[in-house]
Structure 1
């Protein structure tokens, strides 16, 4: 039975709800104007109030300067800047961004155009269907898929997902993606409970959601490899993933 918590009362992402969109960035000066324009377009069409919180981790390419220009264009209520001096990990970026979030829901997505904002209205509709605590984008159900990856990258992703499904049975089909909609108090609790950083963090979020009996809905998405810049996934991230997988298997 789901734990009772006054702060986690049921509410739906219908009209009248506000959605805070967290955009952690590092060297995304080319992508940021495009992703912001697309978010504004689809959020305006969805008829939900929203804000975009940009958490830049000291990008040397001038991403923050671009964000400041976007703030001038769209206004300080729509574009909220919460920069940090250096890269400190995804988990701490979410905590940093959540401190400024004023929405009932928080949507997390990548700023590199791999997550298309056209799916956001589907996330909102899915949440409304069954008052889900979490709605996660999935590349591995329905017409979801991955585009622009070579065979090795696809093999790593599929292999990581398969191993996690086998060992942890998380109740969700895509564990390493980061395109998700959360009820704000649910995300706060999940982030506080997670111990992982970087690439592994997204997987642990789903495992902890299962541990707390939170409900998870899924929306098939098309994941497109980043248009500009370089991928941040390397050998060290894969090693950390396997290490964290074994830790979660032993402790959850």
Structure 2
């Protein structure tokens, strides 16, 4: 399958100190088959210098296709993704957190099943493959696996990592969904709603994971886990439209 452009959506909140690092990594990646990159940064009303950092980076890299949007009030990661999805013009769209937990060098690994004509959606799993994974929180890992298991039960999928950031979608299919979750409930909602598209082809590939501690800036907490359970039940058991 021929892909001309990949939209990379970056939800950002108080990432002024590191966002240039992830942009450097994205810039350095040469996508297979000469696929072009569209970088969509959605600043969810950061209180630091994120806006200034992005502006400076864009001025220094005029050849890089960076589009910047800012929410006037903080709405949550899911809301930032909604904004980015609506603005995406690429054939396919991938989600990239502004931190350094996920490696853009692996974009091509996710693109391969698409370009070979096998997949419409590809998830990057932190729990499969031989790539490096930082060892962090036991209960966080158990929570992720349990949420994936519950999601699989109600979506009839066999994913190993539903909560992964790296999700690569056919842009038109993604934009066709009525997505409602404003925070981290985005992950189970988009997974369950995508699974219900007739003849959808979902693949999974192993990726590396360079996780952050809470002291280093990790933002997801136990409240988000309970919200994820609610969303899985809401969209899995009921229509949840």
TM-score where L is the length of structure 1: 0.85
Secondary structure, aligned partner of 2:87 = coil
Instruction: For residue 100 of structure 1, report the CA deviation from its aligned partner.
Output: 3.2
State the alpha-carbon separation in 2 of the partners of residues 210 and 187 from structure 1: 11
State the alpha-carbon separation in 2 of the partners of residues 44 and 216 from structure 1: 21
Please say if residues 125 and 161 of structure 2, whose CA atoms lie closer than 8 Å, have aligned partners that are also in contact. Answer: yes
Secondary structure, aligned partner of 1:98 = helix
Instruction: For residue 195 of structure 1, report the CA deviation from its aligned partner.
Output: 3.2
2:39 to 52, 56, 68: 52
State the alpha-carbon separation in 2 of the partners of residues 104 and 142 from structure 1: 27
Q: What's 2:51 paired with?
A: 64
Provide structure 1 residue ranges, at least 5 long, that are not aligned to the other structure: 1-10
After superposition, give the CA deviation of every residue in 1:42-94 in whole Å (9 maximum; x if it has no partner). 13676321121110111111111100011101127511111112221333322
Q: What's 2:174 paired with?
A: 187
Give the 3 Å change call, closer, same or farther, for CA 44–178 of structure 1 in structure 2.
Answer: closer
State the alpha-carbon separation in 2 of the partners of residues 19 and 167 from structure 1: 30
After superposition, give the CA deviation of every residue in 1:20-62 in whole Å (9 maximum; x if it has no partner). 1110100111221110011011136763211211101111111
After superposition, give the CA deviation of every residue in 1:131-189 in whole Å (9 maximum; x if it has no partner). 42111111222325642422122122122222322343224332111212111101101
Give the 3 Å change call, closer, same or farther, for CA 251–91 of structure 1 in structure 2.
Answer: same
Please say if residues 12 and 131 of structure 1, whose CA atoms lie closer than 8 Å, have aligned partners that are also in contact. Answer: no
Q: What's 2:192 paired with?
A: 207
CA RMSD of aligned residues (A): 2.2
State the alpha-carbon separation in 1 of the partners of residues 31 and 75 from structure 2: 32
- Once the two structures are overlaid, the 10-residue window that deviates more, 54-63 or 164-173, is 164-173
Q: What's 1:197 paired with?
A: 182
State the alpha-carbon separation in 2 of the partners of residues 230 and 142 from structure 1: 26
Secondary structure, aligned partner of 1:202 = helix
Please say if residues 119 and 221 of structure 1, whose CA atoms lie closer than 8 Å, have aligned partners that are also in contact. Answer: yes
State the alpha-carbon separation in 2 of the partners of residues 167 and 100 from structure 1: 30
State the alpha-carbon separation in 1 of the partners of residues 68 and 129 from structure 2: 36
Please say if residues 176 and 200 of structure 1, whose CA atoms lie closer than 8 Å, have aligned partners that are also in contact. Answer: no
- Give the paired residue count: 237
2:23 to 22, 33, 36: 36
State the alpha-carbon separation in 2 of the partners of residues 76 and 22 from structure 1: 18
Instruction: For residue 104 of structure 1, report the CA deviation from its aligned partner.
Output: 1.5
State the alpha-carbon separation in 2 of the partners of residues 23 and 158 from structure 1: 24
Q: What's 1:160 paired with?
A: 147
TM-score where L is the length of structure 2: 0.88
Please say if residues 28 and 112 of structure 1, whose CA atoms lie closer than 8 Å, have aligned partners that are also in contact. Answer: yes
State the alpha-carbon separation in 2 of the partners of residues 147 and 198 from structure 1: 25
Pairing 1:172–2:128 present: no
Provide structure 2 residue ranges, at least 5 long, that are not aligned to the other structure: none
